[in-house]
Structures are given as C-alpha cells and as structure tokens.
Structure 1
Amino acid sequence: MEQFSALRQAAGLNMQQAAALTGCAMSTAYRWENGEIEPRPEALDALRRAAGGAGGPVAPAFKFIDLFAGIGGLRRGFDAIGGHCVFTSEWDRFAQQTYRANYHDGPDHVFKGDITKVEMHEIPEHDVLLAGFPCQPFSIAGVSKKNSLGRQHGFHCDTQGTLFFDVARIIESHRPKVFLLENVKNLLSHDKGRTFAVIGRTLEEELGYRISSRVIDARCFVPQHRERIFIVGVRRDLDLKIDLSKLELPSGAAGPRLGTILHNEDGSELPSNQSFLDQEGRVSDRYTLSDKLWKYLQDYAEKHRQKGNGFGFGLTGRGDVARTLSARYHKDGSEILVDRGPGLNPRRLTPRECARLMGFDRPGQSEFLMPVSDTQAYRQFGNSVVVPVVEAMARHMQPVIKSAVAHMRAAPAVAAE
C-alpha cells in the first residue's frame, strides 16, 4: 500500500499542510510519516487526490524561499496558503536542528547555512522571497562623490557588508514576483532613519518593486505586546500592488490574555509536555525564580524607580498581556514573569508556553517539536515572528501572489501565439 510519506511528497505538501488536508493533529501526522502507526484509509485517499490521482502530482500554488529562517516562523504562514518551500538558509546550528525537526521537505528542497557564502546558482527559482534579516548600520556616502571617484554606487556600495545586501543581491538575481521582509520596529528610526531610507530606495528605485510597509503589534493575535515592521514588495512590471494599510486585523484591546497560553496544571496536559511539569502535572519548580534572583530583580527595579526610570521586571497575571519575549529570556526571564500569587516567587514561562505565546502552537496544543535545550528554545522563540501575524499577512498577499504566478505562467503561451 502507498505510504503516507510518499504520497505527501508526491502532492508537494509539507507536514503542516498534510495534517490540515487529512484533518489530523500534527503529532498524528508525524507518526504516520515515520511509520509508527497505520494511516487512516481516508487520509491516504485525500493525499492521492492532492497528488492528482493517476494523473500524477499537481503543481504547488507557488514556490518560495526562506532566508534567515530561524525556526520557520515566516514560512508557516506561506505553507498554510499552499506555498512550497524550495530553499532555506539559516546559519545557527541549533535553529537548524529545530527547523529540520518540524519541516520535512522533499528532494527538491535546498538547505544552506551562511547566506553570505551562497552562490546565486545554488538558489532555486522561486515566486516569493521571505526574509527576517537582522538590522545593521549602513555606510552611506554621496553618489556624486562616488561618481567623481569612478566608484560603484547604489546598494552594491551603500549596503555592502550588511545582511540586507544579501537579500538585495538575491532579489536582483532571481527577480521574485513578491517578497516579504520582517524586522524590528526600530528599523524605522535606526541611524536616524537613514537605514530605512536606503532599504526603500534600494527596493523601489534600484530593484524595481512597488513596496508597502506597516508596523503590526501581535497582541491582536497573542497575549504579547510585540511590534514588528513588515515590508512587502511586488515587481513593477506585473502591474499589481499589495497595500498593507488595508490588512484588517482584530482589535488588540480585545485580544487574548496570558492565561490562554499557560499550562493546565490539573494533570490534563499532553504527554509531550511532561518534561516541563512535575509528577502532579504542575509546572516544574525549576522554572520558579530562586529567592536570590527574585530579590535581585526587585532591588534592581526599586533602584531605577527611585531614579525615575521605568526599568524593571514584568510581573504578568493571567488576565494581562505580556511584554515582548526576547532572545535573552533564558537569562532571568525578567520581561515576562508569571505571577503565582501572594507570597510565592514568580516563574518563567516554559518553552512550550513560549511556543504558544509566539503562535507556533495554538492554546492548549503541543505540536511544535523542540529538540534543543530550554536555553536554545528561549533564544529561538525570542528571535522569531508571531505566526498568526504572518498567516494574516500571507492571506492578505495571497490574491496578488496568485495573480502574479498566473500572469507569468500565461506569458509563454501568449508569446508563442
């Protein structure tokens, strides 16, 4: 009998898409994938239909690449709308480990490490480029001065040595129809606005894309105040446009609260979460702050309060919205401390709760695999994007992506006539 993995790959589906198509949990899909249990006949039938039955596999809706991928936060939104990832670049070996555990790609997928060492021919052709590139200062000099010295100008000079440069050179070489870039909100004001100005000029004037940008606070989807800037671009020759100002989002004021992502401590959590819990099903004591650390954080906050500063820990109750989860969360957890009640030291979130806070798992779910230490998991979630935000972004972009792909597929036929 045809196996789940072979049919899934023939249909061009990743694990998340296959689970959604067959109506099963991700944990069940992985057990089918690994041959641990027999798939349901109706699940295999659904995959056969997706693969085109006797007619062979159907083409994916579009192909995309995932740069500075981390643990695949940007990717998840575009997987969900039928995209097929053909290239991933991520340099951190621990993030690679988590990424590979959660995304089982086919033989046409290429995985590379340091993007600065990747040659253009190593990157497959793609329709959409995704990149959450780190923010770095650009060295900006006058174009007229460079002309007088006979030197190259434009992004090849202005952004040389930055990681945005590598995004730009890939866009220049492969000319994706659409791209989505993500960064911290401070990109807007970085280097007194000059960094964002160079990015805009590079994308619009030099590379020929129509762009739109917007800062979005994830608190409309998850109980976390997390502002990030998103930049979308569409190639000008396609005569299409994506306007992020028209992306409709839920009300942040009516968004979920911290209690929705916390562990149930009544013994009902799934077995996959037992490493975070004690034998009674309560969150393990190792996540509770020691008396020494708790006193230090309180003294530090009081010292700055007396100076009129706002520095200090973030004590968060079940009905609150948390501060921004950062990559340094593993150090003391100070930005998001879970209030355990009077007389009790607060605790850190567990990595599973961080997965839910970032939208990699839905409240109450535990599907996202974390084959790394707590320290590495905290770093990875703190560096990632909030998945439901990207899913909303992908759905907003989907009609234009579809039109752009259809336009290019029709172009050869028109030219032949």
Structure 2
Amino acid sequence: MTNKSDLELIQQLLEIYDQKAVAEFLNEVSPDRWCRETLNRWVKGKASPKLTHSEYLTLKELIPSPKVTKENCEFRFIDLFAGIGGIRKGFEDAGGLCVLTSEWNKYAVKTYKANHGSDESIHKFNEDIRQITLSEDESISEAEAYEHIEKEIPEYDVLLAGFPCQPFSIAGVSKKNAMGREHGFECKTQGTLFFDVARIIAATKPKAFVLENVKNLKSHDKGKTFRVIMETLKELGYEVADERYEGTQDPKIIDGKHFLPQHRERIVLVGFRKDLNVHDDFSLKGVLQQKPEQPVSLGQILDKEVDEKYILTPKLWKYLYDYAAKHKEKGNGFGFGLVKENSVARTLSARYYKDGSEILVDRGWDFEKGFDDAENLENRPRRLTPLECSRLMGFSAPGSSDFKIPVSDTQAYKQFGNSVVVPVFAAVAKLMKPRILQAIINDNQKKVDDAA
C-alpha cells in the first residue's frame, strides 16, 4: 500500500471517528502500536503513514460500501435534510441510488457517513443546502440560481426531503413588484427552508418527490403554512397524493406504530410530475397494507443486560415520579412513560437525552412499595440505549447491532429523535416504485418527442 492511499483512508475515517477511536481500531490488530498523537502527526503532514496490510484492511472495513451501485440501480434520488439517512435507507431497499446528500449537522454527518456508502464518482455530499440554492444572496437572480442548481446536482429522478418546518414569512407581492422581482412560489415561501426545496424542484423538475414533516405541519399557523406548501407544489406542476382525501383518517398521516412499537405520526407528501401521467389513483393508503402480520415487539428490541449508566439515578427517578404525581392530581397527563415488553412506546424525541422520561423501561418497580423500600429502589427504570433506539426506529433489526453509532449518547439520542421510522419509508418507496419506473420511461419518450 502506498503512503498516499494510507493517508486518504485515515482522513476518510477521521471524518467519522475521532483520533482516539481510530487508534483503538488499529490497536485491535497491532496492540500498543498506535496512539492519537501519531495520527495527529500524519494528518498535519509531520510524518508519513505506513500501515501493514492487516491494519489497512481493518480500517477499510469501517468504510461502508454503497448498497446500490450505478450499475444495478433502478432509479436515482437525492437526500435533502438527510439527518442520519432514514428516508434514504427505505429508498435504497427499493433499488434507488443516492447521488447527492445534504445535511448540515456535523454529528449527523458522522453517523450518516459511518452507515451509508458513497461512490464518489457519482455521489456528492453537501453540508448547507443554501450553498446549492444560493437563497441567501439576494443579488442572485432566479435564473442564475436555477442554473447553479442544475450544475451542482447530478441527474436524478426522485427528491427526498425531511425539511424543517420553520414559520413562514410571506412577503408582500407589492414589495416584490416594486423591486422588479418574481412573486410566485418564491415570494410565498422565501425565508423558510421549504423555499430551498421548492427552488430545487423548480430548477430540476424531478419525476417525483417525498417530503416528510411532523403531523402538526397541517395545523401550523391555522393551516396557512400547509396551504402555501400545497399551492406551491401544485404551481410547480405536481399532483400530491391524497390531496383531496375523504374521511377522518388522512392517508398522508402515517403512524410508525403499524411497523414498530412506537407511536410516531408523521405527514408524508408524495408528488408526481403531472405531465408524466403516472399520478392517477395513487394513494398512500397502500402503505398500511404493507404492515407486518406479526409486528416487532418492544421485548424483541430491548437488550437483557445494559450498562448501569442507563439506569436512572435515584434522584432523577424521584423527580420524575413526583412530577408525574403532581400533574396527575391536577388532571394533567404530563409524566413519564413506563414501558414493558408488549408496550407501544411514546414518540422518541430529540430531547430524550435529558431525562428519557417519554420512554422508560420497567425493571420491576413496585409502585406500592415506593422509595422507602431499598430493594425496590434497585429496580429503578432505565433509559433506552442508543442501540435500542436504532432498533426502535428501524435502522437495526431486533437483536442486531449493525447500525454504527460513532457519536456520543447525547448526539445519538438527538439524531434518532429527529429521524423517521425506516420501515414506513421502505413501504412508501415500494408503493411508489412502479410509478417512478414508468415516469422514467414516459420522460425519456417525452424528450424524444420534443426533439423530433
């Protein structure tokens, strides 16, 4: 192996793991040979790395290979506001190839890169979507922005985006007119990150898109936010699935509890380009038809033995216990969520790292004995471990530890709490796939007809 290839491999790993962790990986092969100071000297160019063949192979195995390649992919997609890749994972399962990822959180990027392979000849990694859309530079015209977007984003078919829902800032059309600027969807959505998604859709005209957000997106600002989003997507030439649903259960609101033991409702917007004529009769009702006959139980997700650090301290457990009792007396529902092997857990949130109160694993606590019984006090509940969270979200199968978590517990809890239930989006991708493939055929034919 050349020193150059050794250094490139080490630099790639240091984008995911810290120097101490990489040294520990090396020491598993060559005990007591490596330390973080040595790696630091390599990175700074003060020494030339020389790995043995075994050391090189050990580090190489830590870099994931793409699950889908450009040779066997059936369609291509981009992954915006990617987090740790939950939506991507579902679409890869359907044969999709990711050609661009955009995620700004440096800790989420580490976890993403630790688990999702990248073919650098076709896949690009972007940290800030605004570097692609140029949305922060008001001197840039829309035509210039679109040209830049087309240059920065590889050819693709489906846009995926779990975009943040920020308050919409709806600028006045008269002000836009006075400035000589456009005032279509760009006016209505500017100032939000949805605007960046809409700008990419406008510039690249993907055959389909999948947008994900919290259920409350529908009611935000008395429904105005959601109405602007739907009008914008329609203006861009897309038909959104189940836009005019009838009945009490909106198919666009999907609860993860149908696939894994966690109550987690999210709104999913699926749209197809109208001119490709593949959108008729498509409904997300088909997602729940794919739910497993025998759902995974919480007991299958939980480990029998965990580190003691995940058990609540007596002080924290007493605080949560008293807090819940106080609100119960007032008739409020605030309090902890204690789960057993057959429970359906509350929604895992990004604040889980603080006290774990929404999902506490019962370890035999007897409410009648309370805190005065020393033996009972030993049965205090515990938090989920990050690995159990990965299973609860569908990144790992029950009993598996294949999903890599290269960050601290605090960051891991935030990442899983901000992510999606993977099997839900695997079902969405499976449902969409025939339409996506037909859209590709229709689009190619359309290009031929237009050129004739």
* 1:70–1:96 Cα contact (<8 Å) kept: yes
* 1:328–1:379 Cα contact (<8 Å) kept: yes
Is residue 240 of structure 2 the alignment partner of residue 211 of structure 1? yes
- State the match for 1:177 in structure 2: 207
- State the match for 1:73 in structure 2: 86
Is residue 277 of structure 2 the alignment partner of residue 239 of structure 1? yes
Q: Give the letter for the 2:262 counterpart.
A: Q
In 2, Cα distance between equivalents of 1:38 and 1:105: 13
In 1, Cα distance between equivalents of 2:95 and 2:308: 42
1:187-266 aligned at under 5 Å gives the runs 187-204=217-234, 206-213=235-242, 214-241=252-279, 242-249=282-289, 255-263=295-303, 265=304
In 2, Cα distance between equivalents of 1:247 and 1:317: 27
In 2, Cα distance between equivalents of 1:412 and 1:200: 28
Alignment CA distance shift 1:330-1:127 (3 Å): same
In 1, Cα distance between equivalents of 2:180 and 2:224: 24
| Partner deviation per Cα, 1:3-22 (whole Å, 9 max, x = no partner) | xxxxxxxxxxxxxxxxxxxx
| Partner deviation per Cα, 1:356-377 (whole Å, 9 max, x = no partner) | 0000011111111111111111
| Partner deviation per Cα, 1:95-119 (whole Å, 9 max, x = no partner) | 0001111112112110010111224
* 2:287–2:424 Cα contact (<8 Å) kept: no
In 1, Cα distance between equivalents of 2:401 and 2:441: 37
Percent identity reads: 58
Is residue 363 of structure 2 the alignment partner of residue 350 of structure 1? no
Alignment CA distance shift 1:414-1:75 (3 Å): same
RMSD value, Cα:
2.6
In 2, Cα distance between equivalents of 1:73 and 1:102: 11
Is residue 165 of structure 2 the alignment partner of residue 130 of structure 1? no
**Secondary structure in 1 aligned to 2:213?**
strand
- State the match for 2:105 in structure 1: 92
In 1, Cα distance between equivalents of 2:108 and 2:59: 29
- State the match for 2:363 in structure 1: 340
* 1:360–1:368 Cα contact (<8 Å) kept: yes
Alignment CA distance shift 1:317-1:159 (3 Å): same
TM-score (norm 1): 0.79
Is residue 312 of structure 2 the alignment partner of residue 293 of structure 1? no
In 2, Cα distance between equivalents of 1:218 and 1:129: 22
Task: State the 1:125 CA deviation.
Answer: 1.9
- State the match for 1:379 in structure 2: 414
Pick the aligned partner of 2:191 from 156, 161, 165. 161
Alignment gaps of 5+ in structure 1: 1-31, 40-46, 52-56, 266-281
Give the count of matched residue pairs: 353
Alignment CA distance shift 1:250-1:85 (3 Å): closer
Alignment gaps of 5+ in structure 2: 1-53, 62-66, 134-148, 243-251, 366-375
1:37-48 aligned at under 5 Å gives the runs none
TM-score (norm 2): 0.73
Task: State the 1:407 CA deviation.
Answer: 1.8
Worse-superposed segment, 248-257 or 222-231: 248-257
* 2:173–2:187 Cα contact (<8 Å) kept: no
In 2, Cα distance between equivalents of 1:142 and 1:191: 17
Task: State the 1:320 CA deviation.
Answer: 0.6
| Partner deviation per Cα, 1:70-98 (whole Å, 9 max, x = no partner) | 00000001111111111000000000001
- State the match for 1:321 in structure 2: 344
Structure number, greater radius of gyration: 2
